[in-house]
Amino acid sequence: MTEASRPAPMPSVQPDSAALRHPQADERLGRLLMIAAMVISGTIGFFVLMSDQPALNVVFFRCLIGAASLCAWCAYRGYWRGLRMTRWQVVNVTLGAITLVSNWYFLFTAYRLTSVGITTVVYNVQPFLLVLASVIVTRERPSLATLGCLGVAFAGLVILAEPGGVHGAGYLVGVASALAAASLYAATTLFTKRLAGTIRPEIIAALHMVIGAVVFVWMADFHHLPAAPRQIGAVVTLGLFHTTFMYLLLYGAFQKASTSSLAVFGFVYPVVAVAVDFLAFGIVLHPTQWLGGVMILLAAGGYARGLGTAPLKKVS
């Protein structure tokens, strides 16, 4: 699964008793929830562009609306009761929030400089950035299969970016922004994984939104607020539909579907994003861009299916 625009990777949640009693039915439901969440995620770029708002404003309003609705949901479910956090947990939640919402800023910037489809495809190099982070931080050595997937993805990224093409400097800045977003999302993954099993994922998501709103309120441009019904509708949809509702779908998928299903159906996201580019904006990828995009998705798909998931070895 990717997410750029999706929530931070959530700590594992214990399956409920119904999932243990009806594993096949829950697996089917989990797959449907994951597909629905990825279809919704693939349309985020469309609403970002329809909002006609600066990227900083979109991030702030998404955080603000998401914080209000997710906090209300957690209160309704009673998740806030008895919550206690250590200093270590507060640090990881805060760093995860800052990297997550900063990732959104670069992602939304890339939408305008390249396209929704290209940005989303570039974003799918995130798993390999996580591998590189593991090499640097924990000095773990990836398997040869992982390195092969990484090499294919990097070659696809270079082909997709077309550095010698005629797109202009703005296009390359957009590709770089998408890559920066993927890097920040990889960092979010690391911070959030440290909280596995200690705090409910809904609580983490709500806290991420609260922190994001507090940080970005100082950067938002309140002289350029959404005024037209289309703009207001797009912003509200991003906050309620693409944040709160999509998060809850993902939580259901995480609880019910297998890890392999989550990985495979995560690739509905870039497919929908490319389709949105074509249907909404008439943007069609050039043959070389198709080649680069397919290479990235094949490499990420192979990695997600376990091709490059051999245990990492410590570098001596």
SS3 labels along 166-210: CCCHHHHHHHHHHHHHHHHHHHHHHHHHCCCCCCCHHHHHHHHHH
The dihedrals phi and psi of 13, each to the nearest 5 degrees, come to: -115, 135
Mean pLDDT of 223-238: 94
3-state secondary structure of 125: coil
Buried b (16+ CB within 10 A) or exposed e, 217-239: eeebeeeeebeeeeeeebbbbbb
| pLDDT at 167 (0 to 100) | 65
CA angle (68, 73, 78) in 5-degree steps: 125
CA angle (37, 121, 221) in 5-degree steps: 75
- Summarised one tens digit per residue, pLDDT across range 237-276 is 999 999 999 988 888 887 787 766 776 777 788 888 888 9
Q: Check if the beta carbon of residue 19 is closer than 8 Å to that of residue 201.
A: no
User: Please, which pLDDT band fits residue 311 given cuts at 50, 70 and 90?
Assistant: very low
| pLDDT at 265 (0 to 100) | 77
Mean pLDDT of 165-189: 84
Token pair listed for 234:
């797009």
Q: Which residues contact 117 (CB under 8 A, 6 or more apart)?
A: 270, 273, 274, 276, 277, 278, 283, 285, 293
| pLDDT at 127 (0 to 100) | 76
User: Please, which pLDDT band fits residue 313 given cuts at 50, 70 and 90?
Assistant: very low
Q: Is 242 left (phi over 0), alpha (psi -120 to 50) or beta?
A: alpha
Token pair listed for 215:
């940080």
* 131 vs 134: CA distance, rounded Å: 5
Mean pLDDT of 189-202: 84
Highest mean pLDDT among 33-37, 42-46, 128-132: 42-46
Instruction: Answer yes or no: is pLDDT of 14 > 70.
Output: no
| pLDDT at 312 (0 to 100) | 43
Token pair listed for 92:
């990881």
- Summarised one tens digit per residue, pLDDT across range 85-108 is 999 999 999 999 999 999 999 999
What is each CA distance from 2 to 65, 122, 204, 224, in whole angstroms?
Answer: 22, 11, 18, 31
| pLDDT at 305 (0 to 100) | 67
User: Please, which pLDDT band fits residue 315 given cuts at 50, 70 and 90?
Assistant: very low
User: Please, which pLDDT band fits residue 21 given cuts at 50, 70 and 90?
Assistant: low
Task: Name the average pLDDT for the chain.
Answer: 83
